[in-house]
């Protein structure tokens, strides 16, 4: 495959006689498939370090739908894939490394009257949580999610007043309204000042999940793949 051969040749030129990879001499492309969540919470914080260490490298980001991303890992078109463990059903021929664990939090506009401070965190009572209008992150437009399943087990329901395909837009919608939403904690932390939102602890239990670096086992020892993996994990 011409693309893989070109990458291997560029790596060969920047590996010292002792085998140490020198990113400062690397002039190839780093191909990464990533979810929007991974771009915001993993790549954005390390981008400056990648650029400083490998100034001639080009970071090429692609969408990370699981089927095509894993296929491109197989073909060598991608170096790594970043995404949630629940999103990727990863076959054994791939190697996975945990970047971090993620959890859900609630968000509301700053100063929302339903927010209550307990200790050093904000909370919301369950009655207020189900009474207030919710904005649901839903790429397919479904009006039901994990929160509804958890509420059902408590004999409660909520009111979903809007669905939105982009989790990046939801904090801004919440910050400009009386609606609340449930989003990934790292997303909320990154956007809380810009979107004028407050984070609160949820009044119900929801599952956590892992965000992974996935790479082909056959390429796991390639210096460039090892290096870009280490940059993402070190975050």
Domain ranges of the chain: 2-101+210-234, 104-207
- In this structure, CATH architecture of domain 2-101+210-234: 3-Layer(aba) Sandwich (3.40)
Phi-psi region of 136 (alpha: psi -120 to 50; beta: other; left: phi over 0): beta
Alpha helical stretches, state H, 14-83: 36-38, 44-53, 66-75
> Could you tell me what percent of the chain has a pLDDT over 70?
90
Q: Is the pLDDT of residue 5 over 80?
A: no
Q: What is the structure's pLDDT at 13?
A: 40
Identify the top-confidence range among 16-30, 34-48, 132-146, 171-185.
171-185
Phi-psi bin for 19: left (phi > 0), alpha (psi -120 to 50), beta?
Answer: left
What are the structure tokens assigned to 223, written together? Answer: 């210096």
Above 90 in pLDDT, residue 139?
no
Confidence of residue 11 (pLDDT cuts 50, 70, 90): very low
Residue 108: how many CA atoms within 13 Å on its side-chain side? 19
* pLDDT band with cut points at 50, 70 and 90 for residue 6: very low
- % residues pLDDT > 90 (the chain): 75
Q: Do domains 2-101+210-234 and 104-207 have the same CATH topology?
A: yes
Can you tell me the mean pLDDT for 192-206? 98
Cβ 186 vs Cβ 99: under 8 Å: no
Domain 104-207 in CATH 3.10.20.30: no
- At residue 218, the 3 state secondary structure works out as helix
Q: What is the mean pLDDT of residues 10-19?
A: 47
Find the mean pLDDT for residues 173-193: 98
What is the rounded average pLDDT of the residues 37-42? Answer: 93
- Chain-wide mean pLDDT for the chain? 89
């Amino acid at each position: 495959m011409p693309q893989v051969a070109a990458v291997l040749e560029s790596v060969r030129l920047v590996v010292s006689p002792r085998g140490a990879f020198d990113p400062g001499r690397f002039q190839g492309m780093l191909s990464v498939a990533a979810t929007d969540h991974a771009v915001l919470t993993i790549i954005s914080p390390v981008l400056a370090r990648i650029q400083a260490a490998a100034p001639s490298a080009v970071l090429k980001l692609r969408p990370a739908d699981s089927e095509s991303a894993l296929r491109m890992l197989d073909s060598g078109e991608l170096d790594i894939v970043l995404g949630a463990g629940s999103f990727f059903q990863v076959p054994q021929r791939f190697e996975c490394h945990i970047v971090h664990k993620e959890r859900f939090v609630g968000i509301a506009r700053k100063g929302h009257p339903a927010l209550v401070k307990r200790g050093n965190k904000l909370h919301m009572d369950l009655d207020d949580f189900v009474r207030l209008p919710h904005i649901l992150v839903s790429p397919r437009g479904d009006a039901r999610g994990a929160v509804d399943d958890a509420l059902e087990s408590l004999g409660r329901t909520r009111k979903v007043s809007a669905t939105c395909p982009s989790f990046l837009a939801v904090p801004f919608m919440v910050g400009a309204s009386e609606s609340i939403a449930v989003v990934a904690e790292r997303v909320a932390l990154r956007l809380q000042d810009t979107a004028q939102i407050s984070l609160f602890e949820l009044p119900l239990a929801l599952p956590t999940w892992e965000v992974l670096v996935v790479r082909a086992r056959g390429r796991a020892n390639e210096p460039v793949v090892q290096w870009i993996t280490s940059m993402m994990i070190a975050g």
